[in-house]
Amino acid sequence: MIERELGRGGMGTVYLARDRKLDRPVALKVLPPEFAGDSSLRERFLRETRTAASFSHPNIVPVHAVEDAGGTLAFAMGYVEGESLAEHVARRGPLDVRGIVRVLQDVGYALAYAHGRGVVHRDIKPDNIMIERATGRALLMDFGISRSMVASPAMAPGLTRVGEVVGTPEYMSPEQATGDTVDGRTDIYSLGLVALYALTGSKPISGSSAQNILAKQLTELPPPACSLRADLPESVGAAIDRCVRKQPEDRFPSAEALVEAIDAAQAAGPEIPLPVRLFAQELATLSLLIMFFVLMSPMLVNATSAGGRWDALIPLSIMAAVMFTRVALTFVAARRLVESGFHPDVILRGMQGVVDERSSLIAMYKANARVQARRRNTVRIARIMSVIAVVLIVFAISRGREIEPHKWRLGVLGLTAGITAFIMFGVSIMLFMKSPFRAPPAERILKRFWLGPVGRAFVRLAGRGVKADAGSSVSFAPAGPVSQSPPVQQAPVNTSGDRLAELEARLAALERNRTGQP
């Protein structure tokens, strides 16, 4: 029973349906009509889809059934509650480093499984990678479909076929673009281009036509990954750069080798234990309290000395009592962590990890054109509100009249204008200060104070003389330097205009021969 349409493109239309026999949701893909008119193509598709249906892997969307009836060719696959990588990046912008590493690992595991069974995907692209909403897991789908695609006027612009070449030009390996024999390394090349797309939100190789893009795949080197994102660790950048080398022998020899390189580097970074993360939040909150106390104390002391009113010391005393109590409670919390098995050095590394996460997030936002555009609009609105607030204050002053020295009467309009002006000033100040490109004040204090000598002494003092519970020692490894593979000398790439024109002409000739055009 079909419930609703999920999407459509050159490869057909996908519907959300319900399997009545097993009472479960499935994604039903109905393939284009050209599949029904070509018996050899239909048989090839059915054969390859049955092969994909035999797969059983947590990072591959399973194929449940294939339907071939009444001139309609369709297959049912597992429904993933989530969105494709292309949709995710379009909606939220480039992935952070942890997300990119997760995609490389998950899809790498899926490719290792498929390659081990003699199947090459040949159409690795963001649209064929699903991100599960609940877990963030990446799943690869549409095994075998790319091999059965056929060019037609209704085909989506991103799909092409030249001779026996099928796939998406922007993510196609050089050997696939020329119709040469391919193996698992062609999928590794495509996965590297997918990683570059996830880094920036834009295709690393593009052009005005399919032939132009394929020619660039043969001649144009993608930019180094680390040059695209400042927060990308060199180890991850080196792995991505190795994936997109033009010569297959210069890439990782297998998907297993790619995953092992990422795993050995601990490229995803350490997983910060939840108690340590909560303690870092506690320190950030304490930082705000200390900052408020430092700002308010001089004003209260000045009010006391200037007016001789010692009652002004009451709020100061209350604030001091609250602050010192909070410091003591935070000290107890740090001591409790040590008693639970967290060594002070582990706590400090976790705090550093929290700060590094924020730095990575800021770098990701700085690389996102949409976030930059929204920030410019926010600043523009804040400036307009500031100007309006100044105009309202001038209006309020003009409406006021002095009824006695230092006492003014504004009237209803003047009072309303004045209150509105101060509200708009407050909002505009917050809009200026709350920037996605700058860490909040609490986290800046966490970085400069609590990760400095004073903060380190505070944590170590809290753990002095404490004996951890037997068998409860907890640790996690920091992301360390990675031993990178020795550089591989790539064959020189001829990127001259004559070479590009020659390749484009060759690709166009292959296409004419395939379609029987003169």
The token pair at 507 is 């690709």
User: Nearest CA to 57 among 127, 14, 116?
Assistant: 116
104-142 per-residue burial string, b: 16 or more CB within 10 A, e: under 16 = bbbbbbbbbbbbeeebbbbbbbbbbbbbbeeeebbbbbb
Query: Is residue 263 among the annotated active site residues?
Result: no
Find the helix packing angle between 85-92 and 184-200, rounded to 10°. 10
Please pick, among 23, 38, 68, 123, the residue that the annotation labels catalytic. Answer: 123
Q: How does DSSP classify residue 158?
A: T
| SS3 call for 498 | helix
CA atoms of 151 and 513, how far apart (whole Å): 13
Phi and psi at residue 342, in whole multiples of 5°?
Answer: -90, 115
E runs forming strands in 141-217: 160-162, 165-167
CA end-to-end distance (rounded Å), the chain:
47
Residue-by-residue DSSP string for 481-497: ---PPPP-PPPP----H
| H helix and E strand count, the chain | 17, 12
CB count within 10 Å of CB 512 equals 12
Q: CB–CB of 197/206 below 8 Å?
A: no
CA atoms of 206 and 41, how far apart (whole Å): 29
Q: How many CA atoms lie within 13 A of 113 on its CB side?
A: 19
The token pair at 30 is 């109905």
Contacts of 109 (CB under 8 A, 6+ apart): 57, 59, 255, 259
CA atoms of 273 and 267, how far apart (whole Å): 17
What are the residues facing 77 on neighbouring strands?
27, 63
Contacts of 465 (CB under 8 A, 6+ apart): none
Give, for 160, the enclosing helix (H) or strand (E): strand 160-162
Which residue's structure tokens are 């033009």? 246
Which residue's structure tokens are 């834009």? 202
CA atoms of 299 and 316, how far apart (whole Å): 10
CA atoms of 81 and 107, how far apart (whole Å): 18
Residue-by-residue DSSP string for 365-396: HHT-HHHHHHHHHHHHHHHHHHHHHHHHHHHH
The catalytic residues are 123
